[in-house]
């Protein structure tokens, strides 16, 4: 069956419901959702500049999306599932200003809408739907699991948190795993050189191979040529090189953006009554006294709580943010926090895979790495966040056996009984 392009005008000028060209038979279907020639022949000028896809679960609502600057038309289609899309006319000079129309976009129908520049749309996913940019992580993981059997060759690009967690999961499926990274050591963002060596040996002992200090020069079917001259064959390729913060919504609305979205201590952006939280924002790291993105779950959770309370009218500040990580690989656990710039106090038991590093600067505990034995990490974290002077603690207990007794009486009473001195 062949369905030709059809264009249906709506009561809002420029907003058009489109039925694209579609041909289907027992083999499947072929869909052409855009043709410059056909669109122009029907009086529609739409220079397609880029294509995005995203995945959302049933019940997800993607908030009103529009541009204040660099406005552009959009051709919106649901490629799988059902999406209830509401379009609002935000053009102040339009006779239908603030008027809205709703459309049910259905993957099987292949229908789409042309949204003119200056309008916004809200997508409500009534079934699992895909219609814009990045694949959902759970769906990707499921797809990988279904493809992996014993001996499947997996090449992972990236030896950071995401890449190594992926390697661990695939190890349980008996895959043949190779990890490649441009850095000369694993987990460089959270571990020092020695801790990285201990963790790398631990993972290698489980059968995972590492090729470090190199990157992929070229892919050719199921092989990767590396810049060091090696070639790695694979059945499955996993790219795990991290993400960039999505700041466009705020920047397009005129808010201040640097490496991430700039917020104050209330989590409010530079736009009145617009708040941001999580990996897309810049936070003040009190351990290094720098402004940086802290792409961590605890940070996102606390920022979200502060933003929510302020939006609800309760004035709350987000203070004392620090980088923190608690994670394990193949049974070896690590907890890290703070900055590693300062004087180091290191203890190690290589046979037991135990490593501890405390970092001191300006009379304060600034950071730590705990591997193998991660007990009492909360005390160290509290000291960093509260900036408790080292003069108030027993340094021997701090190094060897952190506990409440290492604090002076006044500090213990403050922590245990809430007394202020």
Spatial distance between the Cα atoms of 405 and 190, rounded to a whole number of angstroms: 29
pLDDT at 260 over 60: yes
Of 239, 261, 279, which closes a domain?
A: 239
CB-based contacts of 17, cutoff 8 Å, min separation 6: 7, 8, 10, 103, 111, 112, 113, 114
pLDDT band at 269 (very low <50, low <70, confident <90, very high): very high
> Are 385 and 406 in the same domain?
yes
pLDDT at residue 80 tops 90 = no
Same domain, 118 and 31: yes
Beta strand spans in 90-212 (E): 100-106, 112-115, 119-125, 129-132, 153-157, 176-181, 209-212
Element (H, E) at 137: helix 137-147
- Average pLDDT in the 211-222 region? 91
| Domain at 340, CATH number | 3.30.390.30
Choose the weakest-confidence range: 245-249, 295-299, 345-349, 403-407: 403-407
Distances (CA, A) of 377 to 73, 265, 333, 381: 52, 26, 12, 6
Are residue 142 and residue 122 in the same domain, yes or no? no
123 domain residue, yes or no? yes
pLDDT band, residue 78 (cuts 50/70/90): confident
| Residues whose CB is less than 8 angstroms from the CB of residue 1 and which lie 6 or more positions away in sequence, other chains included | 23, 24, 25
Specify the DSSP element, H or E, that contains 147: helix 137-147
Whether residues 6 and 99 share a domain: the answer is yes
Q: Is the pLDDT of residue 363 over 80?
A: yes
122 domain residue, yes or no: yes
Do residues 158 and 204 both lie within one domain? yes
Answer yes or no: is pLDDT of 55 > 70: no
Domain boundary among 94, 115, 132: 132
- Domain boundary residue, one of 76, 102, 132: 132
Question: What is the side-by-side strand order in the sheet with 261-262?
Answer: 261-262, 281-285, 290-292
Domain that holds residue 289: 248-304
Q: Domain check: are 350 and 330 in the same one?
A: yes
Say whether both 177 and 212 belong to one domain: yes
Q: Is the pLDDT of residue 128 over 90?
A: no
Q: Residue 35 domain-assigned?
A: yes
Q: How far apart are CA 320 and CA 303, in angstroms?
A: 11
pLDDT average, residue stretch 209-217: 96
Query: What tokens does 225 get?
Result: 């040529």
Cα–Cα distance between 347 and 368 in angstroms, integer? Answer: 12
**Residue from 37, 39, 21 nearest 29 by CA:** 21
Residues 99 and 147 occupy one common structural domain: no
pLDDT at residue 395 is higher than 90: no
What CATH code is carried by the domain that includes residue 40? 2.60.120.10
Instruction: Provide the pLDDT for residue 386.
Output: 87
Query: What are the tokens at 76?
Result: 């919106």
Judge if 358 and 334 occupy the same domain: yes
Do β-strands 153-157 and 236-239 pair in parallel, antiparallel, or remain unpaired?
Answer: parallel
Joined tokens for residue 200 = 């790398």
Parallel, antiparallel or unpaired: strands 119-125 and 129-132: unpaired
What value does the mean pLDDT of the chain take?
85
For the stretch 40-47, contacts whose Cβ atoms lie closer than 8 Å and that sit 24 or more positions apart, written own/partner, are 42/5, 42/7, 44/7, 44/16, 44/114, 46/73, 46/75, 46/114
Mean pLDDT of 164-184: 93
pLDDT digits (tens, 9 = 90+) for 322-356: 999 889 999 999 999 999 999 999 999 989 999 99
Alpha carbon separation from 409 to 9, 113, 351, 387 (Å, rounded): 77, 69, 38, 17
Q: Which residues contact 22 (CB under 8 A, 6 or more apart)?
A: 2, 3, 29, 30, 31, 32, 110
Choose between 268 and 391: higher pLDDT.
268
Q: Mean per-residue pLDDT for 174-196?
A: 95
Considering the domain architecture, whether residues 385 and 298 belong to the same structural domain is answered as: no
Per-residue pLDDT of 369-394, as tens digits, reads 999 999 888 889 989 998 989 988 88
Question: Which residues are registered as beta bridge partners of 76?
Answer: 113
pLDDT of residue 402: 77
Q: Is 29 a member of any domain? A: yes
pLDDT for residue 26: 66
> Is 71 inside a domain boundary?
yes
Dihedral sign computed on CA atoms, order 262, 243, 158, 215: negative
Considering the domain architecture, whether residues 145 and 127 belong to the same structural domain is answered as no
Please tell me the predicted confidence (pLDDT) of residue 179: 97
Answer whether residue 316 is part of any domain: no
- Residue 41 CA: distances (Å) to CA of 7, 38, 100, 114, 118: 11, 5, 27, 15, 23
| Range scoring the smallest mean pLDDT among 118-122, 184-188, 254-258, 356-360 | 118-122
- The pLDDT score that the predictor gives to residue 105 is 82
97 occurs within a structural domain: yes
Of residues 81 and 47, more confidently modeled: 81
Question: Mean of the pLDDT values across residues 388-408?
Answer: 81
Q: Which residue reads 């008996």 in tokens?
A: 174
Q: Which run of H or E residues covers position 204?
A: helix 193-204
Query: Which residues lie closer than 8 Å to 35 by C-beta, 6 or more apart?
Result: 5, 21
Looking at residue 178, which CATH number applies to its domain?
A: 3.50.50.60
The H or E element containing residue 145 is helix 137-147
Name the pTM for this structure: 0.63
Query: Are residue 253 and residue 225 in the same domain, yes or no?
Result: no
pLDDT of residue 62: 67
- For residues 63 and 225, the model is more confident at 225
Q: What domain count does the chain have?
A: 4
Helices (H), 8-47: 36-41
Would the pLDDT of 136 be above 60? no
Residue 207 falls within a domain, yes or no?
yes
C-alpha separations of 381 from 214, 286, 289, 308, 338 in Å? 35, 12, 16, 25, 8
What is the rounded average pLDDT of the residues 98-106? 84
Cα–Cα dist 258/19, whole Å = 41
pLDDT at 51 over 70: no
Q: Which of 202-206, 296-300, 323-327 has the lowest mean pLDDT?
A: 296-300
Q: What is the mean pLDDT of residues 165-182?
A: 93
CA-wise closest residue to 321 among 281, 271, 274, 268 = 281
Average pLDDT over every residue of 23-48: 79
Average pLDDT over every residue of 190-196: 96
pLDDT exceeds cutoff 70 at 224: yes
């Amino acid at each position: 069956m062949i369905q030709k392009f059809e264009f249906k005008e709506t009561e809002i000028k420029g907003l058009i419901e489109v039925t694209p060209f579609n041909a289907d038979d027992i083999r499947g279907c072929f869909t052409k959702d855009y043709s410059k020639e056909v669109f122009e022949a029907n009086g529609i000028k739409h220079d397609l500049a880029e294509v995005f896809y995203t995945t959302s679960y049933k019940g997800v609502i993607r908030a009103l999306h529009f541009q204040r600057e660099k406005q552009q038309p959009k051709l919106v289609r649901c490629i799988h599932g059902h999406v209830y899309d509401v379009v609002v006319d935000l053009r102040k000079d339009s006779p239908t200003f603030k008027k809205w129309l709703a459309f049910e976009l259905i993957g099987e129908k292949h229908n789409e809408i042309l949204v003119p520049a200056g309008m916004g749309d809200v997508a409500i996913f009534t079934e699992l739907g895909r219609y814009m940019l990045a694949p959902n992580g759970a769906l990707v993981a499921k797809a990988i699991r279904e493809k992996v059997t014993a001996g499947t060759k997996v090449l992972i690009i990236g030896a950071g948190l995401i890449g190594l967690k992926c390697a661990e999961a695939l190890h349980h499926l008996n895959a043949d795993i190779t990890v490649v990274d441009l850095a000369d050591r694993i987990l460089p963002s959270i571990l020092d050189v020695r801790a990285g060596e201990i963790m790398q040996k631990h993972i290698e002992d489980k059968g995972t191979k590492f090729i470090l200090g190199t990157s992929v020069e070229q892919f050719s079917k199921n092989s990767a040529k590396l810049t060091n001259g090696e070639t790695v064959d694979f059945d499955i390729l996993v790219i795990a090189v991290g993400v960039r913060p999505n700041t466009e919504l705020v920047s397009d609305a005129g808010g201040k953006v640097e490496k991430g979205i700039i917020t104050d201590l209330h989590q409010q952006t530079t736009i009145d009554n617009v708040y941001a939280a999580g990996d897309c924002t810049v936070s003040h790291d009190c351990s290094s006294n720098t402004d940086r993105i802290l792409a961590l779950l605890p940070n996102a959770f606390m920022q979200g709580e502060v933003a929510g309370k302020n939006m609800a009218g309760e004035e709350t500040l987000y203070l004392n943010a620090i980088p923190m990580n608690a994670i394990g690989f193949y049974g070896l656990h690590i907890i890290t926090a703070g900055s590693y710039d300062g004087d180091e106090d290191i203890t190690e038991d290589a046979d037991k895979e135990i490593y501890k590093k405390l970092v001191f600067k300006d009379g304060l505990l600034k950071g730590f790495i705990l591997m193998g034995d991660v007990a009492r990490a909360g005390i160290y974290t509290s000291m960093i966040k509260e900036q408790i002077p080292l003069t108030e603690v027993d340094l021997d207990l701090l190094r060897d056996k952190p506990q409440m007794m290492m604090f002076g009486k006044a500090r213990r009473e403050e922590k245990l009984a809430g007394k202020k001195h």
